[in-house]
Amino acid sequence: MARESVKHRWIMDLVRSYQRPLIAYARARLGDLERAHEVVQSTFQKLWEADRARIEGHVARWLYTVCRNEVTDVLRKEGRMTPVEADRLAAVPHPGDGPDERLQQKERLGRVLALVARLPERQQEVLRLRFQEGFSYREIAQVTGVSQSNVGFLLHTAIRTLRDKLRPVLRPGVEGGEP
Amino acid sequence: MNKVEADERRLTDYAMGELDAPAAEELEQLLQRPENADARDAVEEIRRVAALLSTAYREEVARTPDLGQARLERLAGSRGPAKGRWWSRRLVLAWSAAAVVVAGAGLLGYGYLERERSAPRTDNLAGGEGDIEQAVPGGMYSHKNLKSFGLATAADTGAALNTRPRDAAMNTESYDYVRGNDFLEVVHNPLSTFSIDVDSASYANVRRFLRSGCLPPAGAVRIEEMINYFDYRYPQPSGDRPFSVTADVAEAPWNPGHRLARIGIKGREIPWDERSPGNLVFLIDVSGSMESPNKLPLLKKALRLLLERLDERDRVAMVVYAGASGLVLDSTPGNEQGKILAALERLRAGGSTHGSAGIRLAYEVAARNLIRGGNNRVILATDGDFNVGVTDQGSLVRLIERQAAGGVFLTVLGFGMGNYKDSTLEKLADHGNGNYAYIDSLREARKVLVRQAGGTMMTIAKDVKIQVEFNPARVQAYRLIGYENRLLAAEDFNDDTKDAGEIGSGHTVTALYEVVPVGVCFHGRGVDPLKYQRPARAAAPAEGSDEIMTVKIRYQEPDGGTSRLIERPVVDSGGSLRSADPDFRFAAAVAAFGMLLRDSQFKGKATFGLVEDLAASARGRDPHGYRAEFEELVERAASLWRQRR
């Protein structure tokens, strides 16, 4: 009983800290919220069977890896490996829509996400693991199965594209939208 | 071949903190050359993109709908029918309590949200969209943070590199805005709930300001930390309780019509030799900003004091971080002093700070060497100036919070000045089941790491929360002095999943309430009289009771489990200040000093003279001269204050 209680608490803590980031991650790949919820629920379910001592110290990596496998399974079962982005794209404003005036912070962030949504899928995933979760190259490699140096390459390429597109809003002291 | 192109990959790797130390150093050298100005700008641009991305994802995560009750129930129930049902009830209860908290905060405008540590990120059930304040992880976006949301954060992050000014040239210390607690009327708010705080960093930092001839910024003055810097003679706990509770009441020195209620907690003293084995991982900042004599050299001397007291029961590892992070001493038995001290001596400052990778590595090492039932602890020594990589406060705090769930505690030791990031460090300790001390001298190092090593290193109870219920028949209004960023919602008190402060061996914690008794003229902030509620005078059942309040304290054993409850009613026997315990007077003096430094609207009749008199009347036995030093600081502050006018 006591042991169960400790494990329950542990799982509950993890659910609390990780459910939203994992759902956001799964949703980006699956394209809809309902299935993202399913996948994340079964990810946490697996914690009951897991050996806590072996996960401790890299819980985040473990959760993302399991979640990623679940997502892949779903996509495979449905016979498609290309995610539908409609749900997510609808949620963020398109870049370049607004007039050439000072952007509100919210729009600016929306623009960043919209730009990210146009990147190749693998770059998107690496960006999210890095900046949503703060994973190192090595951890991203472990989660995705991509080599560490390839992670660096994907990240560099993605950031270079974003730098080019975002330059007008990045330069200190310069206000305004895209040229 | 010294030209670095602006789109080279190593710039990204560098900005991400992924270059190893030699490569990072080489690149830093190159970037200083005039022909590489573009590359330097590129690094800054990358950091800005990184900061924008972090913020954008964080916002998106905060807006993401969570699993919802039905799924949570299924998840909790998946363990098997009998237990499952019980779990699911508990889980759902906890979650609905959380929902109520947020809804309450939103509707009633109590202002939980503008304070740190309000609602954790999962609690955003009140509305689908959720505004930024509510949605941010850890709820830690107070005014200052909110203002710097986004590009301002990017600018902070980008300000690093080698262009960092010397300490004297520019002051980039950062403090959070703290709004003093207001009086609350008992009719509307019978319960006051907060987490204990054993940190004492604020006092040492205030002392540093005063000694250097400046009044501290108001945000640097956290009154509870100033009060808790000093030892008070509360009794040792009896039985197997981890701490004793003392409560008494006397006149409020700055407002004689008001009463001052004191709650004192004393943690059981465990002799150093009877401590549980330690698995200590030192995480040491060796970035360029640590170079000055009051940082790394002091840090080495300070840590040496602690390291020398370890023995074969303990294990010690050292992780450093700068441009790159690395393990400089793998977990080593505590009696191999030569090896450990040699590793300490070898530390050199250089490179810019990449805290998050170092923190992750340190927790990994701690987890690998976890001692069940032992003191598993990461000890972070830094000036808090995290600059490189994805190191916005939010994700760092989140990282620490998660690691803390694995049973590893955190001690944060702050060093240095000029670019000292007090607000970051306090949050890290706060979210990491930890404590936080500021070390400005070897003397302070001795206090924290030798005399009070037990308190710093041995946690005897965790998630310690205090809830006070006031009796409306005796008290009109009350004000909690300090603990502004430790306030909890009333419902959090019985919710064991809500994190709160830890108590170490021998620690004393003191909380003061300024209480307005019934019958004294008091004008609140002007809520209309309630039409349907019974007025304070008519609170029948409490009428006959002499009790002004009941103090309830909840805590958990250091390794978790269900919380325990201690309850104690408090009667005001009408004591004067003169007849009060000298420790009571001293704590009151420190509180008044804090209010003066903050220029608080509640300081009443308090003056520096009053503080000096109170403190002088309460010096008592002062073996280490801390109280005498306090009097000296009051004098300094008084003279600085006069000059200001």
A117 CB within 8 Å of a chain B CB? no
Q: What is the CATH number of the domain that holds B315?
A: 3.40.50.410
Can you give the pLDDT at residue B263? Answer: 95
Is-contact B480 B183, C-beta < 8 A?
no
Can you give the pLDDT at residue B395? Answer: 65
Same domain, B214 and B334: no
A128 CB within 8 Å of a chain B CB? yes
Test A112 with B561 for CB contact under 8 angstroms. Answer: no
B76 burial via Cβ count (<10 Å: 0-12, 13-18, 19+): buried
Side-chain-side CA neighbours of B406 within 13 Å: the count stands at: 29
Nearest CB partner across the interface for A57, out of B62, B150, B363: B363
Q: Please determine, for residue B343, whether its predicted confidence score (pLDDT) is greater than 60.
A: yes
Q: Please determine, for residue B73, whether its predicted confidence score (pLDDT) is greater than 60.
A: yes
> In sequence order, which residues have a C-beta less than 8 Å from that of residue A65 and are 6 or more positions away?
A142, A143
The mean pLDDT of B404-425, rounded to a whole number, is 75
Lowest mean pLDDT among B107-116, B179-188, B245-254, B313-322: B107-116
Same domain, B480 and B561: yes
Same domain, B493 and B623: yes
| Alpha-carbon span B409 to B371, nearest angstrom | 12
Mutation to test the A interface, candidates B63, B75, B163, most A Cβ within 10 Å: B75
B172 inside domain: no
Using alpha carbons, list the distances in angstroms from residue B140 to A176, B137, B187, B486. Answer: 29, 7, 29, 12
Band (pLDDT 50/70/90 cuts) for residue A52 is: confident
Band (pLDDT 50/70/90 cuts) for residue B172 is: low
Nearest CB partner across the interface for B122, out of A20, A45, A56: A20
What is the nearest CA distance from B75 to chain A, expressed in angstroms?
6
| Alpha-carbon span B482 to A41, nearest angstrom | 41
Same domain, B83 and B197: no
Q: Give the A window 40-59 contacts with B, CB below 8 Å.
A: 40-41, 44-45, 48, 56-59
Same domain, B283 and B407: yes
| Alpha-carbon span A51 to B511, nearest angstrom | 42
Can you give the pLDDT at residue B223? Answer: 94
B54 inside domain: no
pLDDT, one tens digit per residue, over B46-58 is: 888 887 888 788 8
B76 inside domain: yes
Test A21 with B61 for CB contact under 8 angstroms. Answer: yes
Can you give the pLDDT at residue A96? Answer: 40
Question: Which three-class secondary structure state does DSSP give residue B259?
Answer: strand
The mean pLDDT of B470-497, rounded to a whole number, is 90
Q: What percentage of chain A reaches a pLDDT higher than 70?
A: 77
B134 inside domain: no
Q: Which residues of B touch A37 (CB under 8 A)?
A: 67-68, 71
pLDDT, one tens digit per residue, over B522-531 is: 776 555 666 6
Mutation to test the A interface, candidates B13, B19, B59, B61, most A Cβ within 10 Å: B61
Band (pLDDT 50/70/90 cuts) for residue B177 is: low
Test A170 with B49 for CB contact under 8 angstroms. Answer: yes
Can you give the pLDDT at residue B178? Answer: 65
Q: Which residues of B touch A152 (CB under 8 A)?
A: 9, 12-13, 18
Same domain, B416 and B554: no
Mutation to test the B interface, candidates A88, A102, A132, most B Cβ within 10 Å: A132
Test A136 with B360 for CB contact under 8 angstroms. Answer: yes
pLDDT, one tens digit per residue, over B217-257 is: 888 899 999 999 998 999 999 888 899 999 999 999 999 88
Name the residue in chain A with its Cα closest to that of B50.
A131
Band (pLDDT 50/70/90 cuts) for residue B79 is: low
Can you give the pLDDT at residue B512? Answer: 97
Same domain, B508 and B583: yes
Q: What percentage of chain B reaches a pLDDT higher than 70?
A: 75
Q: Give the A window 58-97 contacts with B, CB below 8 Å.
A: 58-60
For residue B238, the tally of other CB atoms under 10 A from its CB is 8
Q: Please determine, for residue B129, whether its predicted confidence score (pLDDT) is greater than 80.
A: no
* H-assigned helices in A31-147: 33-49, 52-55, 59-77, 86-91, 105-117, 121-131, 137-144
Q: What percentage of chain B reaches a pLDDT higher than 90?
A: 23
Q: Please determine, for residue B506, whether its predicted confidence score (pLDDT) is greater than 80.
A: yes
Q: Please determine, for residue B561, whether its predicted confidence score (pLDDT) is greater than 60.
A: yes
Band (pLDDT 50/70/90 cuts) for residue B418 is: low
A103 CB within 8 Å of a chain B CB? no
Decide which of B196 and B485 is more confident. B196
Name the residue in chain A with its Cα closest to that of B355.
A134
B77 inside domain: yes
Decide which of B414 and B391 is more confident. B414
Can you give the pLDDT at residue B354? Answer: 58
Would you list the DSSP string of B473-508? TTEEEEEEES-GGGB--GGGTT-TTS--EEEETT-E
Q: Which residues of B touch A12 (CB under 8 A)?
A: 76, 91, 94, 497
| Residue at which a domain ends, from B425, B457, B489 | B457
Across chain B, what does the average pLDDT equal? Answer: 76
Test A159 with B49 for CB contact under 8 angstroms. Answer: yes
Q: Which residues of B touch A4 (CB under 8 A)?
A: 79, 83
Lowest mean pLDDT among A87-91, B21-25, B408-412, B422-426: A87-91
Q: Please determine, for residue A2, whether its predicted confidence score (pLDDT) is greater than 60.
A: no
Nearest CB partner across the interface for B357, out of A108, A136, A159: A136
The mean pLDDT of B95-106, rounded to a whole number, is 39
Test A163 with B45 for CB contact under 8 angstroms. Answer: yes
B21 inside domain: no
Can you give the pLDDT at residue B478? Answer: 94
pLDDT, one tens digit per residue, over B299-310 is: 888 888 888 888
Same domain, B121 and B189: no
Side-chain-side CA neighbours of B296 within 13 Å: the count stands at: 19
Q: Which residues of A touch B7 (CB under 8 A)?
A: 160
Same domain, B189 and B252: yes
| Residue at which a domain ends, from B427, B457, B487 | B457
Can you give the pLDDT at residue A84? Answer: 40
Lowest mean pLDDT among B177-181, B183-187, B385-389, B401-405: B385-389
Band (pLDDT 50/70/90 cuts) for residue B496 is: confident
Test A109 with B79 for CB contact under 8 angstroms. Answer: no
Test A153 with B9 for CB contact under 8 angstroms. Answer: yes
B420: alpha, beta or left? (left if phi > 0; alpha if psi -120 to 50): beta
Instruction: Convert B141-162 to b/e letters by CB count within 10 Å (16 or more is b).
Output: bbeebeebbbbebbebbbbbbe
Domains identified in chain B, total number: 3
Read off the amino acid at residue B280: L
Is-contact B28 B323, C-beta < 8 A?
yes
Q: Please determine, for residue A95, whether its predicted confidence score (pLDDT) is greater than 90.
A: no
Can you give the pLDDT at residue A147? Answer: 92
Q: Please determine, for residue B81, whether its predicted confidence score (pLDDT) is greater than 50.
A: no
Decide which of A91 and B307 is more confident. B307
The mean pLDDT of B29-49, rounded to a whole number, is 86
Test A59 with B402 for CB contact under 8 angstroms. Answer: yes
pLDDT, one tens digit per residue, over B562-609 is: 889 999 999 998 888 888 899 999 999 999 999 999 999 899 999 999
| Residue at which a domain ends, from B457, B490, B513 | B457
pLDDT, one tens digit per residue, over B351-391 is: 544 566 777 888 888 988 888 888 899 998 887 765 434 44
Among candidate residues B94, B95, B118, the one with its CA nearest the CA of residue B106? B118
Q: How many CB pairs under 8 A join A and B?
A: 164
Q: What is the CATH number of the domain that holds B228?
A: 2.60.40.1230
Using alpha carbons, list the distances in angstroms from residue A63 to A20, A133, B313, B359. Answer: 12, 11, 34, 19
The mean pLDDT of B131-158, rounded to a whole number, is 28
Residue B295: give the domain boundaries: 272-457
Name the residue in chain B with its Cα closest to that of A14.
B402
The mean pLDDT of B332-355, rounded to a whole number, is 78
Strands B508-517 and B375-382 come out as: unpaired
Q: Please determine, for residue A83, whether its predicted confidence score (pLDDT) is greater than 90.
A: no
Decide which of A9 and B282 is more confident. B282
Name the residue in chain A with its Cα closest to that of B77.
A45
Decide which of B70 and B404 is more confident. B70
Is-contact B399 B368, C-beta < 8 A?
no
Test B406 with A134 for CB contact under 8 angstroms. Answer: no
The mean pLDDT of A91-101, rounded to a whole number, is 39
> In sequence order, which residues have a C-beta less than 8 Å from that of residue B384 and are 6 or more positions away?
B414, B420, B421, B422, B424, B425
Q: Per mean pLDDT, which of A132-141, B45-54, B384-393, B418-427 is the most reliable?
A: A132-141
Q: Which residues of A touch B60 (CB under 8 A)?
A: 24, 113, 132
Same domain, B257 and B378: no
B18 inside domain: no
Name the residue in chain B with its Cα closest to that of A35.
B67
Lowest mean pLDDT among A22-31, A101-110, B424-433: A101-110
Q: Please determine, for residue B192, whether its predicted confidence score (pLDDT) is greater than 50.
A: yes
B133 inside domain: no
Domains of chain A by start residue, with CATH: 2-77 (1.10.1740), 92-170 (1.10.10.10)
Same domain, B402 and B296: yes
Helical (H) or strand (E) element with B146: helix B143-147
Same domain, B502 and B565: yes
Q: Which residues of B touch A164 (CB under 8 A)?
A: none
Can you give the pLDDT at residue B471? Answer: 93
